[in-house]
Amino acid sequence: MCLGICASATVVGQDRPRVVKPVSSRPINQPPAQTPAQPLTQPNVTRSTSQRPVLINDINVVREEPLVKKTGETSPVAAMNKAAARRTVYGGAASNLILQGINSRLGIPYRYGSQGPNTYDCSGFVWAVFRDSGIEFERTSARSLWAMSTPVTGDDRFVFGTLVFLNKLGHIGIVADENGFYHASRSKGITYSPFKGYWEKRIDGFRRLDLPVAQPAAK
C-alpha cells in the first residue's frame, strides 16, 4: 500500500512543473541596485548644450503720469487751507475772494438754470463765485466757457481757480488742488468732490479765464 501511494504521488508530481523562485539576498523593500553610471568622458556620450537664453537688455517700465496726484489731502477743509497758501491763477486777492465765495455757498442746493443766491447749477455757481471776486464775464453755459477760455496742461491743471470741464462739456467746476474740485452737484448741491473715482474718467480738460480782474464792489 505504501509503495502504491508513493508511486502515485510521484506520477502526479511529474505532471506539474515545479516553479523555482530565485532567492535574493536584498530586502524586499529596497530599490533595485543601479549599475554604475558611465563616465562622461566616453566618446559615445553627448551632453546637451542647450541653455535658457540670457537676458542682456535692461527692463525699463514706463509709467504714465497719473491724472490725480496722491497727497492725502482730499477733504474740503484741507483743500481750502492748501489753496489759500499756494500759487493761484488770478492773483492772491482775487483767489482769496474766490475761496470765500466757494466757502459761503457750500451746501446750497442744485437747481438747473439757477445762478443763486438760494440755488445754483454748475455754470451759475462758477459765474457767481467769479463775479464776487471781481472777475466779470457773461453768464453762460459750460460749453461756451470752454470756447472762451485758455487750455492749461501739466501742473497748471491743479492750480486753485482753474476751471475743470467734465461730462462732454456738460459740467464745470473750480479746481481746489490736484485731488479735487468744487462744483454744483445735482445730488449734493455745492460741494467738494475728489477727482479719483467717478469724475476722473469724465474730465474733458482744464482751462483758465484770461479776463481782466476788476476790483470787487464794496459790501
Identify the H or E element spanning 189.
strand 189-194
In the chain, where the domains are located: 76-208
Q: What is the pLDDT of residue 44?
A: 52
Residue 60 has pLDDT above 60, yes or no: no
pTM over the 0.85 mark: no
Mean of per-residue pLDDT scores for the chain: 75
Q: What is the pLDDT of residue 90?
A: 80
Q: What is the pLDDT of residue 110?
A: 98
What pLDDT, in 10s, does the model give residues 61-81? Answer: 333 344 544 444 445 555 555
**CATH 3.90.1720.10, applies to 76-208:** yes
Angle separating helix axes 76-85 and 92-105, nearest 10 degrees = 170
Residue 136: count other Cβ atoms within 10 Å of its Cβ: 13
Mean pLDDT of 178-203: 96
